[in-house]
Structures are given as structure tokens and as C-alpha cells.
Amino acid sequence: MHHILVTGGAGFIGSHLIRLLVNKYPDYHIVNLDLLTYAGNLENLTDVEHKDNYTFVKGDIVDDKFLDELFAKYNFDGVIHLAAESHVDRSIEDPMSFIKTNIIGTVNLLNAARKAWGDYEGKRFYHVSTDEVYGTLGETGFFTEETSYDPRSPYSSSKASSDHLVRAYHHTYGMPIVVSNCSNNYGPYQFPEKLLPLFIHNIKNKKALPVYGDGKYTRDWLWVEDHAIAIDKIYHEGRNGETYNIGGNNEWKNIDLIHALCEIMDDLLDRDEGSSAELITYVKDRPGHDRRYAIDASKLMNELGWEPTIKSTEGLRKTAEWYLENSEWLENVTSGAYQKYYLKQYGSEV
């Protein structure tokens, strides 16, 4: 049996990945290690939690002794590492929690794998990262795998640091690794502090839509299930030691994306045309706000035959519909109701 440790599997992208792996590979054993921070919810995984090939473990990647015990208990063949503090605005308020989880947590995982894995035969450590490590683009151009690192927020700096450490364990200790750097994801189960779920929630409740700065910041949006498909492909077929960029070839200026969302929401909520857009409110900019991200994913497309399956307006509508249909989920994550329930249920045991 092939045992994979997925970290951060109760979060947004991790839950989509867990669902894909558990359903696609009944012969694998998938262990989901997650601390269940404000961003992690087992409610994201109710459809797979009873499957025989799935195990949830609550724990902290910052706790190195706990990780050693976990690696001793399960004979992992691979690690797919997603656990992280992931929100740029929070990293501006509290950089240290990003340093702890994203940097120290990653080193702890690398050390636990290194101790447990001996000669590394048949092993693989896959580190999931972000395009934000490359810094910011001007009006033109794309990030490639050769673009120099130039992180500019505490979040992206902590992710850049962890990317370097993963590559250092490859070069220094011979650990088999692969890294991917992905653009902004969107879709179901994203914590409503991020742009799209926050704005869907606010439109529904007729609250202001806080657009940072002039709203002309550009992001390349990828449907989250397409990211999970890419991770699966890279884990199985990516070349040892390589990096793959993942992106949707789907650039939007924030304000254009917001207007497109507003039109969809008017329609879905059966409100007057233009009423959602009236909620748009320009607010003070995010400090150090990166102007534009855009990914050149041709290496992944040409080598591994991956391409995005969902086009943006279709994905935007599916996203809006999902949050409207799952308003209880949204209420529970924003009130912390799930955390209270699951933390009581799981306590702090391995």
C-alpha cells in the first residue's frame, strides 16, 4: 500500500486534494494532518471521512516530536505539504505565526522525513507553494520557473524561505522533492477572508465591498479542482528536483472580476441589475500590495499534459452558486462553530 501524508488537508486546497486522492486511489492510504486553525474545517471533508483509505490526524507541524511519532507510526512513501498560514493581510498583522508554521513547520517536516526515510528509495516530498514568491510584474510578462525570487509580503517571504529549504534538502541530503508554485485559487470551501468568498458573503448581506487601492491589481485565477488535478499529476509524474508553475491563464484586474461577480450575484439573487455593484467601496490600499501576478504554465502543460478545465466566467458562477447554497457552512466558519466542535472532539491527541 502507498501511504501519503497530506498536510493542511482540512483547508481550502487541501480538502479538494484529499477528496481527489481518496476517491481516485482506493489502494492508497491518505493521512490528513491538520491543526484545524481558523482556516481548517473537517466539514470540508464529510463526503470522504468514512472511507477506509482515509485517516485524519490533528496536530501541529511546528511540533517536531509529534512529527517524529507520526512518521514512526505510519510508513509514509510521500508527503504532500500544504499546511500553511495563507492570508497576506494576516501576515501583515502577525508575521511571526507565518514564520513558525510556514518556515519552521516545513523544516520540521523535512527533518522528520529525512530521519524516517533512510536511502529515500521510492520516496517523494512535494511542497505546494505560491506564485507570490516571484514578487510583482508590470503590465506585461509572466512568471516562469526561472524567474528570480523577490517576495514582498511576510506571507510570500515565508513561503519563499520554505521553497528554498525544500530545495536545499534535495541538494544537500539528496531528498527526492518536487515544488509547485501556483496562482490564486478560487472555488468552494475557501475561507471567507479571501476576495471572492468575502465579496459573495457581503453582497448577499448587502454589506460594502472593500476594494483595496485603485482596484487595478491583477491576479491569475485558477479553479481549485484544476490545482488539485495538477498536484496529483506532479506528485506522480513530475521530475525529481523540479519546479512546476501552475496557473489558469486567466488574468483579471480585481475591479473587473468584482463587476463580473456583481452581475452574476444580481442574477442569482434576483436583484435589480447594478444593485450589487453599488456596494463597491474603495478603501485604503494593502501595504506593499503586489501589482500583478501572471503565470506561464507551459512547462507543466508540455511535460505533463495538464491544462485548466474550467473557464473563468463558468467558474465564477459555480463559485457564487456554491456559497449561496452552502450558507450554513459560511455562517459556521465565520462564527468558529466548526473549530469549537472539532477541537472538542479531537482534543490534542495524535
Q: List, by residue number, the catalytic residues.
A: 131-132, 155
Provide, rounded to whole angstroms, the least separation between the CB of residue 176 and ligand TYD.
29
Options 114, 159, 201, 233; binder of ligand NAD; rule CB under 6 A: 159
> Phi/psi of residue 67, each to 5°?
-65, -40
* Phi and psi based region of residue 301 (left: phi greater than 0; alpha: psi -120 to 50; beta: remaining): alpha
- Tell me which residue has cell 492510504: 29
* Partner from ligand TYD, ligand NAD, none binding residue 82, C-beta < 5-8 Å depending on class: ligand NAD
183 binds ligand TYD, rule: CB under 6 A: no
Options 82, 88, 203, 231; binder of ligand TYD; rule CB under 6 A: 88
Options 39, 262, 297, 333; binder of ligand NAD; rule CB under 6 A: 39
Restricting to residues 250-309, name those near ligand TYD by CB under 6 A.
254, 286
Q: What angle do CA 280, 284, 285 make, to 5 degrees?
A: 100
- Tell me which residue has cell 516562469: 144
Q: Of 98, 100, 84, give the one whose Cα is nearest residue 39.
A: 84
* Partner from ligand TYD, ligand NAD, none binding residue 212, C-beta < 5-8 Å depending on class: ligand TYD
Options 152, 194, 227, 233; binder of ligand TYD; rule CB under 6 A: 194
Q: Which is nearer to ligand TYD, 249 or 254 (CB)?
A: 254
Provide, rounded to whole angstroms, the least separation between the CB of residue 97 and ligand NAD.
8
105 binds ligand NAD, rule: CB under 6 A: yes
* Gap between the Cα atoms of 195 and 211, Å rounded: 9
Q: Which is nearer to ligand NAD, 183 or 202 (CB)?
A: 183
Contact 142, 206 (CB under 8 A): no
Which residues lie across from 3 on neighbouring strands?
Answer: 29
Q: Which is nearer to ligand NAD, 58 or 170 (CB)?
A: 58
Provide, rounded to whole angstroms, the least separation between the CB of residue 206 and ligand TYD.
16
Provide, rounded to whole angstroms, the least separation between the CB of residue 29 and ligand TYD.
32
* Partner from ligand TYD, ligand NAD, none binding residue 219, C-beta < 5-8 Å depending on class: ligand TYD
* Partner from ligand NAD, ligand TYD, none binding residue 198, C-beta < 5-8 Å depending on class: ligand TYD
Restricting to residues 48-87, name those near ligand NAD by CB under 6 A.
60-62, 82-86
Site of interaction with ligand NAD (CB under 6 A):
7-8, 10-14, 34-37, 39-40, 60-62, 82-86, 101, 105, 128-130, 159, 182, 184-185, 191
Site of interaction with ligand TYD (CB under 6 A):
88, 184, 194-195, 198, 210-212, 217, 219, 254, 286
